[in-house]
Structure 1
Amino acid sequence: MMLVIDAAMSAIGVIVLLILIIILHYQAPVGSWGSISQALIYHQVRKYLLLLDVRKEHVKYWRPQILLLVSRPASVFPLMDFINDLKKSGLYVIGHVQKGSMDDSSPNLDPLHEVFPYWLSLIDYLKLKAFVELTISKSIREGIQQLMRLSGLGAMKPNTVVLGFHEKFPTETTLAESSLLKDLRFSRIDRAAVVEYFTASDYMPREPNGLYERLDSEEYVRILNDVIHINKNLCIARYFNHLDKDVPRGWNGKKKFIDVWPVFIQKPGETGLGWGNRISERFVTFRFLFGLSE
């Protein structure tokens, strides 16, 4: 009816209304009574997750569903950002194991209760589309086993595990406030506090010699073996602390080569990957792996 009476004033009124809605959406204070949109999203997500059936998986809609194991985010945040680009509409879970026991903490307080908000704020400031999973265990290996088996929900569970290379010395801390977004309106922890928490000298336990407590080589190899036995894809990352996406490096015209190790060729029965032992099946898998490496 408004359009019939005065089309110009009706258009102006609609525009003003839209501007007011936008201003209220971005400038209004956060309500303490909760958000109805979160309740609606929860209902829809639960409904569609139940429709995802793990028994109906097919290569046609395979997605990289990645579990990134992080010890010190202050030294690997470029890798966290790289995996965020790599996931390509798939699941992205950042997992961390805190060494300890529930018996070591207060009987009424979860030792990870105060840690979790800092991880969520770090994810927000790095602008990562990822979930955070934290666990506490008496050994790093047992904690990683927990994360590999329990991360995700329903059919959305990680199929690829990424972890850092076992360096002789820990990588240096490169996290700074300039690496993060500006303070976010909805974040309860400002970025200066996030950087201070993850770069604190007592963030990770230390050995008597003053160096950070680290995995020994034997336990690291056992963790790699666990990943393969649980039938997950395994990626080992190295030197991502030198990655700077803002400074592109041109190709110098020289060919570069990578090493490809098809471990199933000589002893397929010992890999535990579930592939067939027939010659034809091994040949197809062989061609597929080398095709991907080209």
Structure 2
Amino acid sequence: MGNHSTVTTFLLLGFSSFPELQTLLFVVILLSHVSILLANASIMVAIKLNHSLHTPMYFFLFSLSISETFTSMVILPRMLVDLISESKAISLPECATQMFFFFGLAANNCFIMAAMSYDRYTAIHSPLHYHIFMTQKVCFQFIIASCVVGFLCSFAVTFTIFSLSFCDSNTIQHFFCDISPLVHLACDYTDHHAMIIFVFSAFVLVGSFVLIMISYVFIVFLIIKMPSAQGRHKAFSTCSSHLTVVSMHYGFPFFVYLIPKNSDSFREDMLMAVTYTVLTPLLNPIVYSLRNKEMQTALRKVLESVSKIIPCLIIKNRNI
């Protein structure tokens, strides 16, 4: 990639245009990052330790929590460093690596949520044969397929962008190596490159979203046919958390990655990017915790265990 480019270092300006807010932004992002890690870790520990949650639905939630955690770690630590350091430089290989892992993990999240919607359809359509259809092997296959397809799409987009020549400005009007700010720095960006990027972005976003919607169309028909109001309420409650997360996850990325942009819209895109790099990973575990009684019970048990362990450790350290 270096042979095609005269630029070897980029400058991530990010929120440099708001110098008076740097300290406040650092504190807010740091607290958000810690909260994301703790919230997702709590969900993973709760699922791992509670045998009643060893079901396909929570297996997918466990996988989504892992993927969301790594997604935030790809973006937020670098963002925090840039907020307090004078040097905003990022090398071309580092920029490519960040883009590859961010879009690979983000695509993985999309396909995991598609698998979760199919899981909900299977649970409502065939409750008696649910564990026959959704075996542990099938669940692993869904996760592996999500990961492989996600990172293949990410590789195609990343390779397309970093095979371009960056011979003009090296200033990225963003807080991470995103698609639009980078392609506008390229000298030889053509409609052919734009079509490749659009096709793979649409495949991930639109493709996974269509799969989710197909599952929920069938789910709605099944719920309507249920004779009892209690049964309909129970069936809908099992899907409400997932639907809430889907609506948060897809809203702003659709606008950012599927609508053509110009350089004047980079600041808007950057502000929207905060929603799916900071806000969405923070709200996902909260939504699943607040709207799911089983998860609330499991988290309460984890907190009770931790509250018992910490005093014992303090007493033990004092004795030592």
Q: Taking structure 1 as the reference length, what is the TM-score of the superposition?
A: 0.24
The structure richer in helix per residue is: 2
Which structure is richer in relative contact order (CA contacts within 8 A, separation 6 or more)? Answer: 2
Q: Which has the higher strand share?
A: 1
